[in-house]
Amino acid sequence: MCDHMIEVGSVPFRVEPKGISKSMISALLGKGKKYGLTDIIPLPTDKIVVAEWVRLKCSYGCSNYNTSWCCPPVTPSYEDTRNLIKEYSLALLLVGRTSRVNFYRDNQSKRAQQLRGWKGTVSIERLLFMEGFYKAFSLVGEGCALCKTCAYPENCRFPKEKRPSLESFSIDVLGTLRAVNIIPQVAKDINEHYSYYSIILLE
């Protein structure tokens, strides 16, 4: 057993940041492809751009504001998020592709698409936990779609499964993409495909 690990049962939990191997990324992508993921890109957490203006966009212009346990104002503040991300050293950027047809619609197809992205992300988070990344935590794209209508402000129906959106953590997704040399593009035509993203925080 390496001196940076403590044996607990059959899974050695990690107690020091060690990065993630290419073979593990490849195994995770194999799992993620079932859910439409096309890429998994490791990045240091100091590349994640957190900005106050993101919260402004949530507060003014998003119909999810104050309607979900995974969206502001109940999600962590800008300051809390900055402190929280400092407790992680590594992140995985998960990338998926889908069509734009349902992007602005509030229908079952849109929800199914969101759930597929959520399942892919959370299943990879669980795999990482089983591999000893005990701090693994997912931030998913868009709002929580686990229920047709969120129970908020009544108790969440799936408290163990829910994960907050990237934007609800004041994460500038496009700024983060640029920080890792990905040039994002806007899908302008209804038939175009576009990429969607989630992040798993790790150490």
- Where do contacts with ligand SF4 occur on this chain (CB under 6 A)? 68-70, 144, 146-147, 150-152, 156-158, 162
Closest approach, Cβ 161 to ligand SF4, in A, equals: 6
| Minimum gap (Å) between residue 170 Cβ and ligand SF4 | 18
State the minimum distance, in angstroms, from the CB of residue 154 to ligand SF4: 8
Q: In the numeric block, which tokens belong to residue 130? A: 């089983």
| Residue 99 or 102 with smaller CB distance to ligand SF4 | 102
Nearer to ligand SF4, 68 or 170 (CB): 68
Lookup: tokens for 112: 């199914």
For tokens 């693994």, what's the residue?
Answer: 136
Distance between CA atoms of 145 and 201, rounded to whole angstroms?
21
Residue type, 179: A
Task: List the strands of the sheet with 137-139, edge to edge.
Answer: 37-44, 90-99, 193-202, 137-139
- Find the shortest distance in angstroms from Cβ 132 to ligand SF4: 28
The residue assigned the tokens 């936990």 is 129
Task: List all residues 6 or more positions away from 201 whose beta carbon is below 8 Å from its beta carbon.
Answer: 45, 85, 88, 90, 91, 135, 136, 137, 138, 139
Q: Is 132 left (phi over 0), alpha (psi -120 to 50) or beta?
A: left
In the three-class reduction of DSSP (H, G, I as helix; E, B as strand; rest coil), residue 194 is classed as strand
Residue 109 beta carbon to ligand SF4: minimum distance, rounded to whole angstroms: 17
User: Which residue, 69 or 133, is less far from ligand SF4 as judged by CB?
Assistant: 69
Nearer to ligand SF4, 118 or 196 (CB): 118
**Residue number with CB closer to ligand SF4 (11 or 151):** 151
